[in-house]
Amino acid sequence: MSAWGKRQARADSKPTNTESTNTNGANTSTVPKKSAWGVPPPPPAATAAPTPTTIVPNERSSSAFPTPREAMEKLSLDPSTSQPTVRSQSARPSNRRSYLHSAVPESAVLTPIYRPDQGGNAGKAVDVYTNHFRLKIDDAIVNQYDIEIYMIGRDKKPRLARKDERWETVQRIAKREKNFPIIWYDEGKTIYTKELLTDFTKPLQITFNINNEDKTFQLHILNLVRQEKIRDIYDFIEKKTSIRPRECIRIIETLFKQGARNDLIAIRNQFYDRKQKLDDLGDGRGMASGFYQALFLTQCGPTLNMNLAFTCFYMPLNFIEFATKYLRKDITKGLNEGELQGFKRIVRNLLIETLHTGRDIRYRIRGFGLPANQIMFVRGANDDAGDASLGEKISVADFFAEKYQKLKYPYLPCIDGMSGSQKRANWLPMEVVKLVPWERSLKPLDSVQRSLVTKKSVIKPDQRYAQIMNVVNDRQFDKDSYLKELNIKVETKEMLKIKARILPPPEVKYRGQGNSEVTERVNFGKWTIRNRFYTTRDINKWGMIYFGSKPNENIIQALKDFETRLPPLLQRYGITIKSKPITIAKPANKDDIETTLNNASKDKWQLAIIVLNNTLDYVYDYVKQCGNQRYGLVTQCVSFQTLERNLSKLDMYVQNLSQKINAKMGCINGVVNLKAALSRPSNEDLFMFFGADVTHTTCSAERPSIAAVVGSRDPTNSLYAARLCEQYPKLGRCSMEIIKDLDKMIVELLHLFARSCGNRLPNKIVFYRDGVDDGQYQKVLDNEVAKIKQAFRTIYINRTQPKLTFIIVKKRHNTRFFVYDGQSTKNVEAGTVVDQQITHPSQFDFYLCSQAALMGTSRPALYHVLHDEIGFTSDEIQQLTYWLCHTDARCSKAVSMPAPIHYAHLAAYASRTFDFDDSHEQECDDDFVENAESVSIDDIKTKLMVLDPKMENEMWFV
């Protein structure tokens, strides 16, 4: 990685220009001769009669836990003998759906624990509304069929139909055929129906017009895969079975999508009106507003969770216009190689469609090639019969001038478009294609775009409540013919009213006169610091460094005011500065940053206040990289614009600044007695808290995931240290849901804890884990608990091992709470906890809204206790978790998640531009195979992040 902390992906090699063409764009084959269209094999013949197939069950659900694999059994066609627990899957090949391969195998070693009681009792009882709506569902048996839908091409060969074409085909055939039962379609390769489709064993063909062209499609109903009893849902809710009815959930959620599918874009459980105008974000992308809907199986029965949703789509612009907007430059004047390579990483795999052929032909972008006036091919060599040794050579630009239109920009690079399964290049000039409408963008937003999105997506609670109710009423569930098929009724009069409690806040200890302990009271989730920090350190040498444009008189005066007023303001909180500052102004370039911070470190500065004036993000990143990794220098960055705005009210600004400075200096701001949250606290107990997060589970060598683990390192659990590593496969891309080197990271943090606590090791450990997607809980539980235990065996050896509690923390969910006081709808108070009615029927989970929302609607965190050897009651773990939210060193208010989890998130984010040491790289197996589908945990490489020794155990991440 370069010194600026920018990871450069390996440049892909350019495709070879072998010579062939087709009538829509210029083709160059990279494989031996093959059909230009990449035709799939013909569809399998339909079975004479639909018979159930029995194979190892396929886990396809949004559930947090995979169902245990069951023995293969025959599935009877007689509903009276059908067993609800039997699962089967399609007999078709494994390419049924395109999934990213996971390096972590499925497992079911540990069982998530059950709730230890009937829920908590601590705190003040209140009633709240939640955006869940009760469902009533009749029992029924639903049949699942495998299908295939093909488009018959001009050459009479079948090709797999596109998503929208598949949907339209199913709807038209179902409407046309007499006695065709009501079916609901998952938009993939599955349909559901209450009836047996014994009369529809032959392919069903239909022709209809799409974009002024008649197209013919065939629907093949292949075989009956399984039969599901809807009653399984209630067996799970009533605790008659612990197996989550995944297929039943899928069946009902698919049913709910059918009625509005023609007008809405569906992305999993999110829905967007295709008629809406996108809010332009300025770079060829726009934000859409929609709603989220999902089925939940809760203590009070099945509910429908409804919420507002927002996401970004690429706008359907001509590709040149899109590129100009995204790159913020007129690309018709040309692109250099660096810009092209960077842009390729942005647009790779985007769908585009042609503008020059009179019909929509879609391609997926693979990359870029030479300009249209430089790519040559042989006219007429476009199929297996073509001979590249014969014929006339012609450029792509000349070909388009002859057959379609003269290109305006023949000097721009051509797009390498991939169609279907073909590997050959299809060279398409940028000006003859546009982006396909409603393609979602998951690329990061810049600060201006985030501000625009926030203005629309941060919604006050009364407005969110009203808008959700409007969505529910617009859906008209009572008139939905599909829902009537299972006699589903949705209670839409109002949101579900449930019981909640407001937990008492902790007391936060500071230092008063004579170094005595004083208490600050927490009110509405925040408190005022009127005393000195709990521990502090004198600063004997410090300085202020300005990076930015050449300072004028106003800037110089503002810096002088700040350096003069800062020491006495810090003194209020016990931070004593014993020297005058050294003030330096330098341009914001790499060499000056590196030289200045290196000199400050050599001069033994204890603190460097870095003032950044209108600098780009990379300047901040490089300052942190130099300070934390190279020179061991404590840096506190300040925006000059923020400083200038706060000069008249510097007291409050410095209070926030002082908390970060004190924590980075290795000192404690305030102390919360966490043991007081327990019903029977013991002086013999020594607790240690961990937090872990993974930035993204999908990883590759070009884009590794970063795993961060932080652990407390003092008896008050106020100070923390972090350990980080990169993890990725040697080749390809895969999903890596667990932290491979978790055991090594925990061993280091346990050693550090012991050194700080008089060689005492903790006897109780609470581990909070963030960054776990739905459906991955079991993998994380089985693998990471085992690694934690392995670390215990390494450290404790013959001593009694500590008791472990392992908790998943989830912020990305759609449950919200509202309070109605008789006049208006408001946010719930800080400390509101819900552990009944809408929680898991049997397992140990709860919602906690620990923060007081300043903007928009407050979002609770969902906590799922998967493993508990300590034996917490509901009240204890809820109170302990809530109080941990008051221990964040960065502020004097309760944050939305426990401090160790927040610190892990901050450390992972801060390290995204750091260097990870190759000398600490853990190699994968040498005989690693190139097929990404064969990747395993052993094939994942890891690199540990190495900081300067003076910084590695400090709280540099705050």
Residues 697 and 790 reside in one and the same domain: yes
C-alpha span between 619 and 547 (Å, rounded): 9
DSSP secondary structure, 455-494, as one string = HHH---HHHHHHHHHHHHHHH-GGG-HHHHHTT-EE--SS
Which residues lie closer than 8 Å to 290 by C-beta, 6 or more apart?
264, 265, 270, 271, 272, 273, 308, 309, 310, 311
Half-sphere exposure at residue 149, Cβ-oriented, CA atoms within 13 angstroms: 26
* Structure-model confidence comparison of residues 109 and 510, the more confident one: 510
> What pLDDT score does 934 carry?
62
Q: 11 lies in a domain?
A: no
Token pair listed for 844: 């140990």
Half-sphere exposure at residue 409, Cβ-oriented, CA atoms within 13 angstroms: 19
pLDDT surpasses 90 at 419: no
> What pLDDT score does 614 carry?
82
Per DSSP, the three-state class of 632 is coil
pTM: 0.86
Residues 601 and 707 reside in one and the same domain: no
> What pLDDT score does 66 carry?
33
Q: How many domains does the chain have?
A: 2
Q: 551 lies in a domain?
A: yes
Residues 589 and 738 reside in one and the same domain: no
* Structure-model confidence comparison of residues 30 and 715, the more confident one: 715
Q: 177 lies in a domain?
A: no
> What pLDDT score does 729 carry?
81
For residue 836, give the nearest of 77, 126, 101 by alpha carbon. 126
CA 117 to chain centre: 33
C-alpha span between 783 and 108 (Å, rounded): 10
Residues 694 and 715 reside in one and the same domain: yes
C-alpha span between 377 and 356 (Å, rounded): 19
> What pLDDT score does 76 carry?
32
Domain end call among 601, 631, 664: 664
> What pLDDT score does 629 carry?
95
Instruction: For residue 304, name the pLDDT band (cuts at 50, 70, 90).
Output: very high
> What pLDDT score does 25 carry?
59
DSSP secondary structure, 167-199, as one string = HHHHHHHHHHSTTPPPEEE-SSSEEEESS--TT
The amino acid that residue 111 corresponds to is T
Share of the chain above pLDDT 70, in %: 85
C-alpha span between 863 and 810 (Å, rounded): 6
CA 540 to chain centre: 44
What is each CA distance from 96 to 152, 185, 251, 283, in whole angstroms? 20, 15, 17, 35
Residues 684 and 773 reside in one and the same domain: yes
CATH of the domain at 611: 3.40.50.2300
How does the average pLDDT of the chain come out, rounded?
Answer: 86
Token pair listed for 111: 């069982």
> What pLDDT score does 37 carry?
30
> What pLDDT score does 917 carry?
66
Q: What is the mean pLDDT of residues 76-95?
A: 36
> What pLDDT score does 213 carry?
85
> What pLDDT score does 939 carry?
73
pLDDT in tens, 208-233: 998 788 999 999 999 999 999 999 99
Q: 740 lies in a domain?
A: yes
pLDDT surpasses 50 at 4: no
Residues 675 and 655 reside in one and the same domain: no
Q: What is the mean pLDDT of residues 883-901?
A: 97
C-alpha span between 844 and 867 (Å, rounded): 9
Q: What is the mean pLDDT of residues 264-280?
A: 93
> What pLDDT score does 382 carry?
54
> What pLDDT score does 102 carry?
65
pLDDT surpasses 60 at 545: yes
Per DSSP, the three-state class of 506 is coil
Q: 728 lies in a domain?
A: yes
Worst-scoring range by mean pLDDT, 136-145, 354-363, 724-733?
724-733
Q: What is the mean pLDDT of residues 390-402?
A: 88
Question: Residue 433 pairs with which residues in a beta bridge?
Answer: 354
> What pLDDT score does 2 carry?
35
CATH of the domain at 908: 3.30.420.10
Residues 738 and 867 reside in one and the same domain: yes
Length of the chain: 958
Q: What is the mean pLDDT of residues 337-357?
A: 91
pLDDT surpasses 80 at 927: no
Which residues lie closer than 8 Å to 638 by C-beta, 6 or more apart?
609, 610, 611, 612, 657
Residues 601 and 727 reside in one and the same domain: no
Q: What is the mean pLDDT of residues 93-119?
A: 70
* Structure-model confidence comparison of residues 327 and 930, the more confident one: 327
pLDDT surpasses 50 at 911: yes
> What pLDDT score does 766 carry?
99
**Crossing angle of the two packed helices 319-327 and 337-347, in degrees rounded to 10:** 110
Q: 182 lies in a domain?
A: no
Residues 659 and 733 reside in one and the same domain: no
Tell me which residue range forms the domain holding 633: 536-664
Q: What is the mean pLDDT of residues 342-346?
A: 91
> What pLDDT score does 823 carry?
87
Contact 200, 116 (CB under 8 A): no
Residues 773 and 646 reside in one and the same domain: no
Contact 193, 142 (CB under 8 A): yes
pLDDT surpasses 90 at 5: no
Instruction: For residue 315, name the pLDDT band (cuts at 50, 70, 90).
Output: very high
Worst-scoring range by mean pLDDT, 95-104, 532-541, 847-856, 887-896?
95-104
Residues 868 and 896 reside in one and the same domain: yes
Residues 758 and 893 reside in one and the same domain: yes
CA 878 to chain centre: 26
pLDDT surpasses 50 at 337: yes
What is each CA distance from 10 to 418, 533, 596, 920, 943, in whole angstroms? 21, 49, 32, 22, 18
C-alpha span between 668 and 719 (Å, rounded): 7
> What pLDDT score does 91 carry?
39
Q: 607 lies in a domain?
A: yes
> What pLDDT score does 480 carry?
94
CA 810 to chain centre: 11
* Structure-model confidence comparison of residues 386 and 837, the more confident one: 837
pLDDT in tens, 502-519: 999 999 999 998 889 999
Contact 770, 903 (CB under 8 A): no
Three-class HEC string of 759-823: CCCCCEEEEEECCCCCCCHHHHHHHHHHHHHHHHHHHHCCCCCCEEEEEEEECCCCCCEEEECCC
Domain end call among 664, 696, 714: 664
Domain end call among 645, 664, 683: 664
Q: 299 lies in a domain?
A: no
Contact 311, 272 (CB under 8 A): yes
pLDDT surpasses 80 at 702: no
> What pLDDT score does 359 carry?
80
For residue 710, give the nearest of 902, 892, 521, 551 by alpha carbon. 902
